[in-house]
Amino acid sequence: MTIGELARRTGCGIETIRYYEHEGLLPKPGRTSGNFRRYGQEHAELLSFIRHCRSLDMALSEIRILLRFRSAPDENCGEINALLDIHIGHVEERIAELKSLEGQLRALRDKCRSGRSAEHCGILQGLGGAPDDRGASGDNHVPRTHSTKR
Amino acid sequence: MTIGELARRTGCGIETIRYYEHEGLLPKPGRTSGNFRRYGQEHAELLSFIRHCRSLDMALSEIRILLRFRSAPDENCGEINALLDIHIGHVEERIAELKSLEGQLRALRDKCRSGRSAEHCGILQGLGGAPDDRGASGDNHVPRTHSTKR
DNA sequence: AGACACCCTGTAGTGACTAAAGAGTCAAGC
DNA sequence: GCTTGACTCTTTAGTCACTACAGGGTGTCT
């Protein structure tokens, strides 16, 4: 199947597929005489695996590790458990951060209920002070709030 | 004060201060005869404002809008409210996504409690299928799970 | 005069894509 | 065989908010 068919079948963008190949997550497929990529069922399954992991917000580096285990089925899966536990920890941590953030934002929002001029806007005044320490640990790969993804 | 002093006073990295200047968030300061940046109290307050906004996970583009209101105090602050409401919506949305994610990850984790070989690991098998639609809207600038920030 | 901390500009890297330019290929219809 | 149009190719650059250099200049103290 062509890259376009693979993309349709997996719901993954064509550019993303080429990106995964470049990053070594997908093996280089065969080519037609005209240099088009030719994929088989095994590529579709592998790509679905990767997209599933990504839908669970795993980093590509984590997925790389899982793929290693997937292709070396004799190894003990304790490391897989550990990886997942760490990832769950990251997600929990980010949820806690975002909840704290939401509380702060709501408190700020309550400072300006009316249509006053910006000069007296409680929100701007509330933002003037020193920020609270957000207490992020620094090694959490789970993004906080912004990002434009499909 | 020098850029280093400003950095220490605001808890912001020196490179970040120069980056904000480049991005137009901080006005260009005066310079010494040797071309060193010279900052005053007003710069420190402005930078604290920006860092406070960033600690609330606002995007620089949002902060730029707030700064516009900050320097044009006659304008009505209804837009500020709207901006904050949208941002709170983004954060709420991301929290909901992450909670759903956490549930999925825990379900996956429960598939492998023992130290079996990877060949029979329930986690790898659970990851093989098609991913759930994560239902992200696409215009939420709040990151999901990974990211290495200080 | 030397040492050393600090500062300067400019460039490149991060993660996981996304977009676009400019060219080539494939399949169907005529 | 030719044309059309959809598809694909590679390469490069952009996204966001920084962070990390490299290679040089400045300020201050002894």
CB–CB of A115 and B56 under 8 A? no
| Cα gap A48→A12, rounded to integer Å | 9
> Count of alpha carbons within 13 Å of B133, Cβ hemisphere only?
6
Strands (E) in chain B, as ranges, are 30-31, 37-38
Q: Can you give the distance from the CA of residue A95 to the C1' of nucleotide D10 in angstroms?
A: 41
Shortest distance between the Cα of A15 and any Cα of chain B, in A, equals 17
What pLDDT does residue A150 have? 44
Q: Is A11 left (phi over 0), alpha (psi -120 to 50) or beta?
A: left
Tell me the range of A115-119, A127-131, A135-139, B28-32 where mean pLDDT is highest: B28-32
Mean pLDDT of A44-61: 90
* Higher pLDDT, residue B105 or A114: B105
Number of neighbours of residue B73 by Cβ within 10 angstroms:
13
Convert B86-100 into a string of H (helix), E (strand) and C (coil).
HHHHHHHHHHHHHHH
User: Residue A81: which pLDDT band, with cuts at 50, 70 and 90?
Assistant: confident
Indicate if the pLDDT at residue A54 is higher than 60. Answer: yes
- What average pLDDT does the structure give for chain B? 81
For chain B, report the end-to-end CA distance as a whole number of angstroms: 24
Chosen from B42, B56, B112, B132 to mutate, greatest number of chain A CBs within 10 A:
B56
* CA B9 to centroid of chain Cα atoms: 21
| Cα gap B101→A142, rounded to integer Å | 12
Chosen from A146, A148, A149, A150 to mutate, greatest number of chain B CBs within 10 A:
A146
Q: Which residues contact A5 (CB under 8 A, 6 or more apart)?
A: A39
Indicate if the pLDDT at residue B145 is higher than 80. Answer: no
User: Residue B149: which pLDDT band, with cuts at 50, 70 and 90?
Assistant: very low
Give the nearest partner residue to A146 out of B92, B128, B142, using CB atoms.
Answer: B142
* DSSP-based three-state secondary structure for B39: coil
| CA-to-CA dists, residue B58 to A140, B37, B90, angstroms | 19, 27, 10
Q: pTM for the complete prediction?
A: 0.76
Shortest distance between the Cα of A6 and any Cα of chain B, in A, equals 13
pLDDT tens across B82-131, in order? 888 888 888 888 888 888 888 878 887 777 665 555 566 767 666 676 66
What pLDDT does residue A119 have? 60
Q: Which residues contact A86 (CB under 8 A, 6 or more apart)?
A: none
Q: Residue B44's closest CA among A81, A128, A60?
A: A128
User: Considering only B51-60, B63-72, B112-121, which range has the smallest mean pLDDT?
Assistant: B112-121
Kindly give the interhelix angle for A14-22 and A41-55, rounded to the nearest 10 degrees.
90
What pLDDT does residue B106 have? 85
**Percent share of chain B, pLDDT over 70:** 73
What pLDDT does residue A21 have? 95
B76 phi and psi angles, rounded to 5 deg: -70, 145
Mean pLDDT of A56-76: 80
CB–CB of B48 and A128 under 8 A? yes
* Higher pLDDT, residue A136 or B69: B69
Give the nearest partner residue to B132 out of A55, A69, A139, using CB atoms.
Answer: A55
Indicate if the pLDDT at residue A73 is higher than 50. Answer: yes
Under 8 Å between Cβ of B136 and A134: no
What pLDDT does residue A149 have? 46
Indicate if the pLDDT at residue A75 is higher than 70. Answer: no
| Contact flag, residue B33 CB and nucleic strand D, below 7 A | yes
Which helix or strand (DSSP H or E) is residue A38 part of? Answer: strand A37-38
Q: Which residues contact A146 (CB under 8 A, 6 or more apart)?
A: B57, B59, B90, B140, B141, B142, B143
Q: Can you give the distance from the CA of residue A51 to the C1' of nucleotide C14 in angstroms?
A: 22
